Structures are given as C-alpha cells and as structure tokens.
C-alpha cells in the first residue's frame, strides 16, 4: 500500500477486511474495550527460495496509523450494511464509538532495508485488542507486498553485479497503487531508477526513460526517427534499436552518434528489447567499438529476471544496464509473501503482566510463538550475522545465551560469546510517529550495508545456506509447556481424539 500525498480518512479506515469490524464490535460489546494485546507480524517462509527477505514498508506505518479515522461517509456506509440473517450488521452505539475513534497503538518494527528471516517478528503492535485488530489488514497490506518486491529486486540487483537496474514495471503492476509500491520498494532494495514519474515525485526516486518502438514507427525511416530523438533529447538519448532489425538499427545509431559528436553531444546508449540478447549485444558492442564509440553503453530489457540476467552475464554478454519490468513488478514467480499477524500475548484491564498465548494447529509449522516478543541479531567478530534469537522480554533465562531452532528442538546454538543488536525499533507511540519519516536513501544504504555483511552462502540463488532463527531457551520452554497444556485440555474435552491417536 502506498499512501497518497494527502490521504483522507475514508481512504484508510475502511481499507480492512469486514471481519476486523465485526470482531471490533464484539470486543466493544463484550467489555474488552480496554483489554490490551500484543500482535506480531511475520512470514513463515522466505520468498523466491531465498534465505532472507528485505524489510520494506515499515516507514509508512506511522502515517497509516495516524490516518485511520472514520468519516461521516464511512459511518453511513457501515450503517447501511445488512446482516445475512436480517437486520443491520452494525449497532448504532458501536458506530458512534467509531465516529470518534483514534488509534493509540504502540508499534516497534524492523527498519526498512534490513534483512529479515522466517518466523521472527517484523512488526510488534501493542495497544487495546480492538485497535490492534482494526490495524491488521492495512498493516499486512503495507508491509507484505513491499517486502516481497524489495526481496525480488535484491535478487535482480545482485544478479546484475553492480550494473544499474531500472524498474520498468508500472504498466504491468497490479493497479496504480501497486505501481507506486513497486517503485518505492525496488529503490530501497537497490534499483537505480524507475520509469514511474509519480513515484519519482512522491518519493524522490530517480526516474528514467527515453522512447518506445512506437516512436520509431511514427517516422518514415528508423534513421529519421533516431535523428529526431537525438535533436529533441541530446542529453537523454538512448536509442531503441530492435524495432525492425538490430543489425540495421545499430548502423543507424552509429550514424546519429557521429552526428551528435559533431554538435558536441554524445549518444548515451542503445537498448535491445528482443531476440538473443547475449548474441546481439556482442555484435552491437563490436560495431560500436569499431566506430570509436566505446563510450556508448548497451542496455537490455525483455522480461528479465535474476535468472536471465545471471545467464546473460555468464555468457559474457557486454551489457551495461538492465530494464526490468513485468517479472519484478508482479513478483512473477511468487505473487505473495504470506505475511501473517498473530496474537501472541494479552493483558486484561487492570493487570500488569502479559499472558502469553499461542495458536495450536495440527500443522506444526502453523503453531505460533507466544509472548511479548523481541528479536536479536548475533554477529561474528567480523560483523557478519550468524543467527537471530526470538525472545520473550518477560522470561529470558540464563541471560539469553542459548537458542533453540524454531523447527528443530534438537538444534541448540550457544551465542554467549557473540555480540548482538536488537532489531525492533520504536516506530509509533500512542498513535503518533516517534520521529520524522526517514528518506529512502537511508533505507537503501541500510540495505546495502546489510547485504555486504551477509555471508555469500546465504545469498546464493540456488540452494542457499539456511540461516538459523531460534527461540531463546526460556521462550522455547514456554512454548513447549503451553503446547502440552493446550493439547492436554483438548484431549480431556475430546477423549475420542486421544483414543484415535
């Protein structure tokens, strides 16, 4: 989700699944208005077969929280909704409550650009259970897609090995808002520019673009089209040479390049958008160099992704930059990250301590982690991450010196000799941003530092090394105890299940 320049209450308050509102009404009516909750947002598996994901979207959470207000138009719409069994879906008293509703939640989040791993809390939200529940859908919408896009971009940029990657996906993105989110997230993760002019204005991202095949086809000859464009944009001149035939196109580009030299100008690049990109680029590079145009760069596009780029460079294709559109903007091979938002602790009105809770599932992978969670990243003597520890602030045992792998209780890691840092940082306090929104440049630099510090084994495209994320020993024991207690309660209530097992 990319918030508009002037987001109205109506734009955000109803950006939710209906059941968030029906649950909120139930909480309001059940006397739980002031009960507190702790929710965590996380994902169970990394995207695209990566060992990690790139955090993105958290910088937009303060604005999201501050924008959730129910306008008179919102209230009138909700009042018009009929329940399937008859009558109004929402009660007048609850709607009047929403009319003056204002978020007072507290949010701690992993900063944008940081690397995140499965199961660990990306975002922790505390506040009244009603507020936390109302925030769920919009929060997941904000961080889930942007984290997915940032992760895809990180892979593409990594494959390019330092060559610029421009994001060209707006026309294929999932709507205007999706296009803005793509441009924003891709820049955090290392894209050099975007074709999206609105994103350029809104987020101060460099924009890039020259001409399409239709420009060439608008003239009687390709040479005429190239000459016209060079006269129109001498300082932004990249010629698309595959409208008819690349070999003929490069000859026309060579003519125009020499004419530009006579005027004291320079052709920036030629772009190839179809065909055997490696073979054609090799031919084009040879022709340009033979004509003394070694400064003219070669850019390619055409449904590129990290695998195609890796293959092109593996073939030693003489390429200088890439335009990546559809497969980046749509996250073509995995269109969703699968972020979830789960209640991990609750506190009744008047109580001081948090009560840890967990979801118990017949699928062990879907069992949640209880407690008021935080997460630490441990580093070796060179500053390279070696593992992450999820811990409950209320039950840290042994000063948090050992962690138990989330999916393998037999895998225990001693981290007593390593330095660590906390990953969750204050984002929102009592419904207000704790600091001005940081620029995308700051997030971008954070991502570059994080990737540089990560061992290459975790950055492989194929079969990367698995990064250890574990539970602090006290939290692991707490979860095991709660699982056993809950399973015992279920067996007592449903003895036939125990007999079947």
Residues with Cβ < 8 Å from 329, sequence gap 6 or more?
149, 167, 169, 170, 172, 173, 178, 179, 182
Query: Which regions of the chain are under pLDDT 50?
Result: 1, 4-10, 399, 499-501
- Per-residue pLDDT at 402: 82
**Residue 7 CA neighbour count, 13 Å, CB half:** 22
Class of domain 211-293: alpha beta
Residue with tokens 């975790």: 458
How far, in Å, are 358, 395, 497 from residue 481 at the CA level? 11, 13, 20
- With a CB cutoff of 8 Å and minimum separation 6, the contacts of 421 are 376, 377, 379
DSSP state of 296: -
Residue 418 neighbours by CB under 8 Å, 6+ apart: 378, 379, 380, 386
CA distance 75 to 78: 5
Q: What is the domain partition of the chain in residue ranges?
A: 211-293
Q: Tell me, what DSSP letter sits at residue 469?
A: E
d(CA 19, CA 10): 18
Q: Dihedral of CA 493/494/498/501: which sign? A: negative
Identify the three-state secondary structure at position 109.
Answer: strand
| pLDDT at res. 7 | 41
8 Å CB contact between 268 and 301: no
Residue 258's alpha-carbon distances to 235, 251, 496, in angstroms, are 15, 11, 86
Per-residue pLDDT, 500:
45
Give dist(CA 1, CA 262) in Å, integer.
Answer: 49
pLDDT of residue 363: 75
CB 222 within 8 A of CB 250: no
Paired residues of 389 in beta bridges: 376, 470
How far is it, in rounded angstroms, from Cα 342 to Cα 359? 8
- If we measure between CA atoms, which residue out of 113, 136, 141 comes closest to residue 55? 113
């Amino acid at each position: 989700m990319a918030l508009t320049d002037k987001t109205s209450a109506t734009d955000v308050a109803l950006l939710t699944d209906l059941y968030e509102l029906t649950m909120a009404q139930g909480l309001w009516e059940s006397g739980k208005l002031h009960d507190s909750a702790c929710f965590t947002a996380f994902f169970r598996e990394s995207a695209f077969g990566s060992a990690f994901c790139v955090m993105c979207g958290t910088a937009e959470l303060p604005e999201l929280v501050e924008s959730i207000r129910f306008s008179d138009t919102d209230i009138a719409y909700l009042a018009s909704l009929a329940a399937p069994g008859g009558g109004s879906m929402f009660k007048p008293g609850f709607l009047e409550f929403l009319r003056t509703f204002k978020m007072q939640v507290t949010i701690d989040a992993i900063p944008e650009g940081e690397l995140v791993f499965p199961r660990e809390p990306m975002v922790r939200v505390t506040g009244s259970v009603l507020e936390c529940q109302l925030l769920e859908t919009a929060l997941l919408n904000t961080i889930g897609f942007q984290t997915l896009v940032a992760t895809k971009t990180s892979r593409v940029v990594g494959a390019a090995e330092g060559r610029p990657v421009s994001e060209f996906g707006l026309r294929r993105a999932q709507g205007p808002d999706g296009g803005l989110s793509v441009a924003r997230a891709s820049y955090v993760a290392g894209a050099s520019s975007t074709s999206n002019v609105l994103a350029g204005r809104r987020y101060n991202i460099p924009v890039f673009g020259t001409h399409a095949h239709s420009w060439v086809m608008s003239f009687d000859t390709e040479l005429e089209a190239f000459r016209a464009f060079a006269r129109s944009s001498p300082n932004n001149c990249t010629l698309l040479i595959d409208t008819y035939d690349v070999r003929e196109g490069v000859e026309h580009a060579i003519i125009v390049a020499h004419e530009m030299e006579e005027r004291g100008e320079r052709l920036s690049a030629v772009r190839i958008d179809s065909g055997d990109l490696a073979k054609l680029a090799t031919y084009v590079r040879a022709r340009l160099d033979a004509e003394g145009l070694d400064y003219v760069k070669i850019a390619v596009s055409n449904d590129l992704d990290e695998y195609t780029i890796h293959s092109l460079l593996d073939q030693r294709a003489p390429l200088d930059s890439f335009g990546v559109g559809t497969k980046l903007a749509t996250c073509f091979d995995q269109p969703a990250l699968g972020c979830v938002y789960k209640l991990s602790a609750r506190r009744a009105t008047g109580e001081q301590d948090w009560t840890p809770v967990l979801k118990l599932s017949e699928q062990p992978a879907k069992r949640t982690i209880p407690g008021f969670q935080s997460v630490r990243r441990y580093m070796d003597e060179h500053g390279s991450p070696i593992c992450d520890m999820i811990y409950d602030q209320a039950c840290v045992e042994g000063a948090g010196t050992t962690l138990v792998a989330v999916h393998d209780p037999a895998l225990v890691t001693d981290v007593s000799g390593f330095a660590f840092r906390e990953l969750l940082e204050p984002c929102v306090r009592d419904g207000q941003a704790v600091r001005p929104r940081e620029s995308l440049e700051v997030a971008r630099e954070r991502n570059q530092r994080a990737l540089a510090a990560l061992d290459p084994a975790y950055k492989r495209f194929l079969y990367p090394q698995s990064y250890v994320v574990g539970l602090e020993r006290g939290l692991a024991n707490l979860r095991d105890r709660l699982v056993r207690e809950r399973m015992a309660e279920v067996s007592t209530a449903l003895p036939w299940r125990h007999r079947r097992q």
